Amino acid sequence: MADKLNKEDIKFRDQIAARLREIREAADMNQTVLSHELGVDPLSVSRYETGGGASIYVVRSYCKVFGVSVKNFF
């Protein structure tokens, strides 16, 4: 069974979620359009951007769609 996230991990997860949303909104793209670009359900995009947990693969996919390096993401 997975351990619960500590406060630092929760903060980092929330920062990633906020950055994902920031990048999408800066491109003036809605979640539905992005979901088609990523090949996922729109609900997944909502989860990624509200702290539902985005893997490094999701971060990389956002970066690819928006032309942002992973280094500049963080």
In CATH, what number is assigned to the domain containing residue 62? 1.10.260.40
Euclidean distance between CA atoms 44 and 5, whole angstroms: 21
The domain in which residue 17 lies consists of: 7-73
Q: Is residue 1 part of a domain?
A: no
**Backbone phi and psi for residue 31, each to the nearest 5 degrees, phi listed first:** -65, -35
Domain count within the chain: 1
pLDDT in tens, 14-40: 999 999 999 999 999 999 999 999 999
**Predicted confidence band of residue 4 (pLDDT cuts 50, 70, 90):** confident
Q: Is residue 53 part of a domain?
A: yes
The reported pTM is: 0.89
Helices vs. strands in the chain: H and E counts, helices first: 5, 0
Using a 10 angstrom Cβ sphere, with 0-12 exposed, 13-18 middle and 19 or more buried, the burial of residue 63 is middle
Q: Is residue 2 part of a domain?
A: no
Euclidean distance between CA atoms 54 and 58, whole angstroms: 6
Q: Is residue 52 part of a domain?
A: yes
pLDDT in tens, 40-69: 999 999 999 999 989 999 999 999 999 999
